[in-house]
Amino acid sequence: MENNKPFSSNLEKDKSEKYDSEEYEKKVDQIIKIIIDTDPEGAIELHPAKPKQP
């Protein structure tokens, strides 16, 4: 068996990038709030009516 890794170490580093889902969700919510504050009409797109239940 040869000691070759199929991919460069970069991919592994990239994959290990940390992601804080809580912080991210918070950011998304903040952006949504900005949109709602600035353009309530346009922000409707962000809250579409729920599809009808069968």
Partner 1 sequence: MIDSEHISSIDSLIQAEESVLETELLSTETKQGNIETLVADIESTKLVLAECSNIKPNSKKADEILGEFFTDCAKAVVDEAKFDGFIDTVERKQIATEEEKALIVAEGEIATGAETSGQHVIETLEQFDPSAVDLGIDKLKNDSEIIGADLDERVSQIRKRHPLDLVGKIGDKMLIQKIKKLICDGSYTDAENLINPYVKEELWLDEKKEFGYRLLKLSKQFPPEMVKEKVDEETIQKDGTINERAVLEIASRYGDTLPREVGLDILGKAVRCVGSNNFRIIESLSKTIVALELTEEDADKIAENLTNGNGKNFLLMDMLIKQGADPTKFEGMTKTWEEILTKVPDIDSMFENGLNGITYCKENVETLGLDFMLNNIESGPNLSALNYLTNNGNIGECKKWIDYLHGIGVEDGDFAKTVFIFFEENEKLVSEILSAEILVEAEKKGLIEIISSVNKFGVKNMAELADLKRVKIGYLEQAFLDDDIHKGKKALETVIFGGDKNLQITVLINSLGIIKANSLYIKNGKIETKDIDKKFIIDEKRIEELIESGMLDVGLVKTIRLVVYFRNFTATDEKGQKTKLLEEAKKCIEQELNVCIGVKELDRRQKALINQNYSREMFRDNLMRNDKKLKHTSIEFNGSEIPVTILDGEPFKMLVHKLNAYGNNGNDPSTWNVLSGGRSYISSSLISSEKINIAGGIKQKKGTVIYGFTDLGKESILQVGSADIYTIGGSRGKAKAEKSLIFFENEERVINLMTPNELLTQTSYGKYNEVVLDRYSGDLETYDGRLQPSCILVFGKSEIDINDEAKQAANYFGKPIYLISRGKYGK
* Residue ranges binding partner 1 (CB under 8 A): 1-11, 13-15, 17, 19, 21, 24-25, 27-28, 30-32, 34-35, 38-39, 41-43, 45-46, 48, 51
CB of 29 to partner 1, least distance (A): 8
CB of 22 to partner 1, least distance (A): 11
DSSP string, 1-54: -----SS-HHHHHHHT----HHHHHHHHHHHHHHHHHH-TTGGGGGSPPPPPP-
**What six digits make up the tokens of 6?**
């199929």
CB of 40 to partner 1, least distance (A): 10
